[in-house]
Copies of this chain bind each other. A is one copy, B any other.
Amino acid sequence: MKRAPTQKGRKKPASVDELRDICRQAGIKLTPQRLEIFKAISSAQDHPSAEILYERLKKRMPTISLDTIYRTLNTFEKLGLIKRVQLLNDQARFDADMESHHHFICTRCKKIIDFKWPDFDSTKLPENIKAFGKVYGQQAELRGICRQCLKKEESE
């Protein structure tokens, strides 16, 4: 399977036709399971977990299994069709520096680099945020590939 070059290309959720093309180009099959999972996630208003998608899909496709959902979500992620909301889903990581700072996360080795960004700190939140509830923290997250991993990629 060919990975999407970066996460930049795509915008709004892909259409089913685009999905078909993307699968063909990647050399993978568009199975009924993949199609249903894709439709479920691209029409979802929330940000469903594998388990939630499983519950929803069982109604339409009673034989689908949870591990197919996991596998398919990983596949779609590699193809650049979906993103996981937070990257560090293996182990929780902690920070004792409570001062305002931001994170660069390497998607390859999961390294986290802190940085300061005063221009961000002083950017005003949109007005409509107030309607969501009470905000008590804001921070920026960059995703990328760190120097070391870039070097490794060259030599592969």
Binding site for B on A (CB under 8 A): 6-8, 10-14, 38, 41-42, 44, 46-51, 53, 73, 76-77, 80-89, 91-99, 103-104, 106, 111-113, 115-117, 119-120, 123-126, 128-129, 131-147, 149-150
Asked if A93 contacts B140 (CB within 8 A), the reply is no
Number of copies of chain A assembled together = 2
- Whole-angstrom distance between the alpha carbons of A40 and B137 in the complex? 25
- Whole-angstrom distance between the alpha carbons of A8 and B50 in the complex? 33
Asked if B139 contacts A144 (CB within 8 A), the reply is no
Please give me the residue from chain B that is nearest to A151 by CB atom: B133
Please give me the residue from chain B that is nearest to A49 by CB atom: B91
- Whole-angstrom distance between the alpha carbons of A98 and B6 in the complex? 12
